[in-house]
Amino acid sequence: MQIGFIGLGNMGAPMAANLAKAGHQVTGFDTAGVSVDGVTQAQSATEAVSGADAVITMLPNGDILRAVANQIIPTMQQGAVLIDCSTVDVDSARAVAEQAIAAHLLSVDAPVSGGIGGASAGTLTFMAGGTSDAFAKAAPLFDIMGQKAVHCGEAGAGQAAKICNNMILGVTMIATCEAFALADKLGLDRQKMFDVVSTSSGYSWTMNAYCPAPGVGPTSPADNGYQPGFAAELMLKDLRLSQQAAKSADADTPMGQAATALYQQFVETEGGLGQDFSAMLPRFEKRSRE
């Protein structure tokens, strides 16, 4: 395929590189002027998508996605597929899909899970929303960039799946960190706690696969000074999206709301910016009950 790729940041660059390595003709554009091995560098977004069979976007937020869509959709060839891999609000995803369909394009919202490591290794998981035809055209590209793609439903369903998943992740990480901090103050050895909880009803991904306690469980960012695998500010972004969606859908999400407030406090006033989202543990270690 001839592929246009808009947004060559920490995630987009390795994704585009993997598509080029697989033999596709990839033309990329980023406002920062990033160059990627095997990817032809365009001077504008419209140049990158000219004649493309598929266009992939990986952008910071819904406002930027809408602005880019306004630029590129009128210049894309009919029948091409627009695959947005950004994590944005559901309303923006659906608006861009409607705009693409009106221009006789296929459209898929397909946010990802797996982080920078997954983007580099080609092991991302894609959560896709759109028609069956659109998903079928995008699927071979998902196979190159990732290890799994789930068709979640119509337009916006991919974003819905991503923010629901990450709301669970944020809430669960806070609970895991709280429990370790409580165990410390009760005199319970962290390794003993892990040995019990990781094989009991407290089992969770944040405990078993991404333990926030250094030296306990598999290697995680906690063992590297909390250098981010998934930055706290990105978790805050996703939690805010979850609450925006909850408000729009009139859904009661008190735990998601509380997690959003805690991560906002951590990132904006407690030095959490630039740390992994599991650095909530040293944050709780320092605090007493108020």
Q: How far is CA 285 from CA 145, 216, 260, in A?
A: 39, 16, 20
Which residues are registered as beta bridge partners of 113? 125
From the candidates 137, 162, 185, 286, which is the catalytic residue? 162
Question: Distance between CA atoms of 193 and 102, rounded to whole angstroms?
Answer: 56
CA–CA dist 235, 81 (Å, integer): 29
Burial 6-35 (b: 16+ CB within 10 A, else e): bbbbebbbbbbbbbbebebbbbbbbeeebe
Asked about 162 being catalytic, the answer comes back as yes
What Cα–Cα distance (Å) separates residue 206 from each residue in 51, 124, 141, 166, 200?
A: 44, 18, 30, 12, 14
Read off φ and ψ for residue 5, nearest 5 degrees: -130, 120
Q: Mind telling me the catalytic residues?
A: 162
